[in-house]
Amino acid sequence: MIRRLFIANRGEIAVRVLRTAQRLGITTIAGVSAADRHSLVAKLADEVALIGPAPSSESYLNVGAVTAAAVAARADAVHPGYGFLSENASFAQALAAAGITFVGPSLESLAAMGDKLRARSVAMEAGLPVVPGGEAATREQARERAAITGYPLLIKAVAGGGGRGMKRVDDPAQLESQIDLAMAEALAAFGDSRIYVERFVARGRHVEVQVLGDGQRAIHLGSRDCSIQRRFQKLVEEAPAPGIPADRHAALLSAAVRLAEHLGYRGAGTVEFLVDAETFDFFFLEMNVRLQVEHPVTEAITGIDLVEQQLLVADGLPLGWRQDQIVLRGHAMEVRLNAEDWQQGFRPSPGQVKSAHWPAGPGVRVDSHLTGPGEVPPYYDSLAGKLIVYGVDRAAALARLVTALPTIELEGLATTRDLHRRIAADARFVAGGVDTRFFDGFLEQPARG
**Which residues have a catalytic role annotated?**
290
Contact, 185 vs 157, CB < 8 A? yes
Backbone angles phi, psi at 296, to 5 degrees: -60, -30
Burial of 187: CB neighbours in 10 Å, binned 0-12, 13-18, 19+:
middle
Q: What is residue 216's DSSP assignment?
A: S
Identify the three-state secondary structure at position 322. coil
Residue spans of beta strands (DSSP E) within 184-217: 195-199, 204-214
Q: Is 7 left (phi over 0), alpha (psi -120 to 50) or beta?
A: beta
CB count in 10 Å sphere of residue 23: 11
Contact, 186 vs 193, CB < 8 A? yes
Contact, 1 vs 76, CB < 8 A? yes
Residues 349 and 275: their CA atoms lie apart, in Å, by 34
Pick from 389, 437, 348, 402: which is nearest to 237 by CA?
Answer: 389
Q: What is residue 124's DSSP assignment?
A: H
Identify the three-state secondary structure at position 117. helix
The H or E element spanning position 272 is strand 266-276
**CA torsion through residues 161, 262, 218, 272, sign:** positive
Pick from 10, 94, 22, 13: which is nearest to 52 by CA?
Answer: 10
Question: What is the radius of gyration, based on Cα positions, of the chain?
Answer: 21
Q: Is 437 left (phi over 0), alpha (psi -120 to 50) or beta?
A: alpha
Identify the three-state secondary structure at position 296. helix
